[in-house]
Amino acid sequence: MKVVLENLTKIFPSRTKGGKEVIAVNDFTFEIPDGKLIGLLGPSGCGKSTTLYMICGLQKPSSGKIFFGEDDVTELTPENRGVGLVFQNYALYPHMTVKQNILFPLQNLKGADKMSKDAMLERAYEAAKLVQIDELMDRKPSELSGGQQQRVAIARALVKMPRVLLLDEPLSNLDARLRLQTREEIKRIQQETGITTVFVTHDQEEAMSISDMIVVMKSGVVQQIGKPQDVYDSPLNLFVAKFLGTPPINVFNGKVENEKLLIGGNAVLDVKGVSDQEVFVGIRPEAFIIDKQGPLECKLLNVEVMGRDVSIVSSHEDSVNPIIRSIVDADNLKEVAQESVHFALKPHKVFIFNKDTEERIYVGNEKEKVEADK
């Protein structure tokens, strides 16, 4: 089932007299393709949950429309939309067993949707099998780990065979290892069921790893939509560039003069077609190449060898952040001197941004290349 968001906006009135209203979601338009997993990503307060609750029907949009397939569902109640919703804090009924928790949504079906007891049980076991908790059906939630509880919550959301599955930070309460495992599970379940899914998270790595497409939001406004790798490889603005990637992108104050990009007065790259101006330069950690003749000279602070990766921690006067973190090839390490390190840069891992708008400035035919790759 494709889901269409059309100019979706949510304004919360001010809580205090004369205070400012909050535009939680601002003119969000997007067609979520059928059967895909979409990661809705952004910092806390950017409007992710509000968007999800509008899709689900728990919040009414201030303006705009929502379609499931061709059906306009904007005015429908959550029960009539055919959605399954999973929250961060599982929200299971503590006095009920796992089985009763999963059966609950089916027992509440009315009229023509009413099911026989056997049919309900069969469905409940199917859903439980899908999330691999069918052995735990007679336990109470308090007798389960966090990961198991979240599986029960997912089974409960799936049991009504929803048209759309909505997950609001479903992994945030799990410890690191379970989080990793459960996100793989969610991906598998989504692929097996083919249910169009919206997955909300503030964790870029989580969103990148399981989403077919990500939507990056900031202050209620969509910044960029695309396949995770495409957004990483070609961010539209400085915010998106900084939000994606671990270690994060390194940002420098730079200058363009005569189609050369200067950092600290040294020409680090050619930037064909870019007019003279001050810019922000974003350099991905993997962009740095150790090179004695390299034009970017940084003060060496530390070399961290972490298994496969070598990370060089350095600093530079024109770096926006106190430290620069680069991931380099271990083979070149012998060329690192005592106090300073010289780098050459991989051009396709370096982005420049307008100093005022923080929008991307494209170099040469970069923009055409991005369009062609889509």
User: What residues make contact with ligand ADP under the rule CB under 6 A?
Assistant: 12, 22, 24, 42, 44-50
Q: If contact means CB under 5 to 8 A according to the sort of partner, which of Mg ion, ligand ADP, none does residue 166 touch?
A: none
CB of 19 to ligand ADP, least distance (A): 11
Cα torsion 170, 176, 182, 187: sign: positive
Between 43 and 364, name the residue whose CB sits nearer to ligand ADP.
Answer: 43
Q: Taking a C-beta distance cutoff of 8 angstroms, is the pair 62, 231 a contact?
A: no
Q: What is the CA radius of gyration of the chain?
A: 25
Helices of type H across the chain: 48-56, 98-107, 117-130, 146-158, 176-193, 204-210, 228-233, 238-243, 366-373
Helix (H, G, I), strand (E, B) or coil at 239: helix
Nearest residue to Mg ion by CB is: 49
Between 49 and 149, name the residue whose CB sits nearer to ligand ADP.
Answer: 49
CB of 35 to Mg ion, least distance (A): 25
CB of 57 to ligand ADP, least distance (A): 15
CB of 88 to ligand ADP, least distance (A): 10
Chain CA centroid to CA 291, Å: 35
Q: Give phi and psi for 164, each to the nearest 5.
A: -140, 135
Angstrom distance (rounded) from CA 163 to CA 68: 8
CB of 215 to ligand ADP, least distance (A): 12
Chain CA centroid to CA 12, Å: 24
Between 172 and 266, name the residue whose CB sits nearer to ligand ADP.
Answer: 172
Burial of residue 2 (number of CB atoms within 10 Å: 0-12, 13-18, 19+): middle
- Is 59 near Mg ion (CB under 5 A)? no
What DSSP assignment string belongs to 134-190?
GGGTTS-GGGS-HHHHHHHHHHHHHTT--SEEEEESTTTTS-HHHHHHHHHHHHHHH
193 — alpha (psi -120 to 50), left (phi > 0) or beta? alpha
Q: If contact means CB under 5 to 8 A according to the sort of partner, which of Mg ion, ligand ADP, none does residue 24 touch?
A: ligand ADP
Strands 360-361 and 288-290: unpaired
Q: If contact means CB under 5 to 8 A according to the sort of partner, which of Mg ion, ligand ADP, none does residue 46 touch?
A: ligand ADP
The neighbour count for residue 142, using CB atoms within 10 Å, is 9
CB of 47 to Mg ion, least distance (A): 9
Between 40 and 363, name the residue whose CB sits nearer to Mg ion.
Answer: 40
Strands 196-201 and 164-168: parallel
- Is 182 near Mg ion (CB under 5 A)? no
- Is 49 near Mg ion (CB under 5 A)? yes
Between 47 and 254, name the residue whose CB sits nearer to ligand ADP.
Answer: 47
The neighbour count for residue 283, using CB atoms within 10 Å, is 27
Between 50 and 196, name the residue whose CB sits nearer to Mg ion.
Answer: 50
Q: Of 41-49, 216-224, 251-259, 361-369, which part binds Mg ion (CB under 5 A)? A: 41-49
Between 49 and 148, name the residue whose CB sits nearer to Mg ion.
Answer: 49
Q: If contact means CB under 5 to 8 A according to the sort of partner, which of Mg ion, ligand ADP, none does residue 141 touch?
A: none
CB of 27 to Mg ion, least distance (A): 19
- Token readout for 359 is 């929008």
Between 85 and 136, name the residue whose CB sits nearer to ligand ADP.
Answer: 85
CB of 22 to ligand ADP, least distance (A): 5
Select from 76, 73, 87 the least CA-distant residue to 166.
87
CB of 156 to ligand ADP, least distance (A): 22
Partners of 354 in the β-ladder: 279
Between 43 and 364, name the residue whose CB sits nearer to Mg ion.
Answer: 43
Q: Which residues bind Mg ion (CB under 5 A)?
A: 49
